[in-house]
Amino acid sequence: MIEVRGLSMRYGRTLAVDDLTCTVKPGLVTGFLGPNGAGKSTTMRAVLGLEVPASGEALVDGRPYASLRRPMRTMGALLDAGAVHGGRSARDHLGCLARSNGIDRARVTAVLDQVGLTDVAGKRIGGFSLGMKQRLGMAAALLGDPAVLMFDEPLNGLDPEGIRWLRGLLRSLADEGRTVLLSSHLMNEMALTADHVIVIGRGRLIADAAMNALAAHFQGDVLVRTRHPERLTAIMRAHGGTVVAADDGARVARSAALSAALSVRGLDASEIGVLALSQGIALVELTPRAASLEEAFMRLTEDSTEYRSESGTTPKETVR
């Protein structure tokens, strides 16, 4: 388990992490999401004890990482896949790590196999692609067979096959009961990878929710096009619908040119159709629209920016 409690991190005048509290639980793949500069890497560095917090703390299995007796056996991390000695072979690199951490040499062979690098284990790391370096970084993180794993943007540089492989690996690690945290700034990628998401914006917690709860929270709307928007809006509101003018877009058919587009939430398409019929209102279009998680993410992180510009503070909105 990883616990972050009231963590704040500063770089000079920049408050990179602002009173962040969250828990990463075992048995789940947890996505750590936020736009560029949100504070994900800084939080991960704090978890590894690489930065000193301005306040608060980050604990791994109940203890600060720096105080762990055998850190690599408790937690494996990959922050920067490029930060390896290019002159060594993959096997030598892992062998050195194993030796200096008192880890059985047999683990080197095991993790090389686990990440699919056995065939190139004797080659110099300098000639590795970014995807291969990501796999090597994974191997190093797995070397101590730790119960907690943390990866910063591990999907970067992987081709589609590599991404599929990594998703399978993360799933199997979580299924073994390990704690798995990975960061990304791409919500759609995370939707296919994570069971749970922690979203931050400008260093503050925006959402901490199961992936399916987040998807349900951001259900899509129904696009309704009619020549009688006022009457239809009134009847839909009377029946619990939330109605706003919809973005008409550029692709309005000529037959719909005189109509207005409405975005409706709280009523489904069939309910809207029945209400329109009951009032004798013709509909030009009735389209349920699914919100992608990428949109949900944009809306979540936009909210934090909006509040900031209005009041100078960002609220802690936890979607549950």
Ligand X SMILES: Nc1ncnc2c1ncn2[C@@H]1O[C@H](COP(=O)(O)OP(=O)(O)OP(=O)(O)O)[C@@H](O)[C@H]1O
Contact positions toward ligand X, by CB under 6 A? Answer: 11, 14, 16, 34, 36-42, 185
How does DSSP assign 184-249, residue by residue?
Answer: ES-HHHHHHH-SEEEEEETTEEEEEEEHHHHHHHT--EEEEEES-HHHHHHHHHHTT-EEEEPP--
Closer residue to ligand X (CB): 107 or 133 = 133
For residue 10, the minimal CB distance to ligand X (Å) is: 9
Among residues 182, 193, 135, 139, the alpha carbon closest in space to that of 40 is found at: 182
For residue 95, the minimal CB distance to ligand X (Å) is: 31
Closer residue to ligand X (CB): 228 or 308 = 308
For residue 308 the two structure tokens come to: 């900031």
Closer residue to ligand X (CB): 196 or 204 = 204
Secondary structure (H, E, C), 85-101: CCCCEHHHHHHHHHHHC
How far are the Cα atoms of 56, 199, 209, 319 from residue 17, in angstroms, in the given order?
10, 13, 19, 19
* Residues near 232 by beta carbon (within 8 Å), at least 6 away in sequence: 224, 226, 262, 275, 276, 279, 281
- Decide: helix, strand or coil at residue 33: strand
For residue 21, the minimal CB distance to ligand X (Å) is: 17
For residue 14, the minimal CB distance to ligand X (Å) is: 5
- What is the DSSP code (8-state) at residue 267? S
Closer residue to ligand X (CB): 152 or 221 = 152
For residue 253, the minimal CB distance to ligand X (Å) is: 41
How far are the Cα atoms of 233, 250, 291 from residue 244, in angstroms, in the given order?
9, 18, 16
Closer residue to ligand X (CB): 47 or 60 = 47
For residue 12, the minimal CB distance to ligand X (Å) is: 6
- Decide: helix, strand or coil at residue 110: helix
For residue 144, the minimal CB distance to ligand X (Å) is: 25
Closer residue to ligand X (CB): 112 or 199 = 199
Closer residue to ligand X (CB): 41 or 233 = 41
> From CA 167, how far away is CA 177, in angstroms rounded?
16
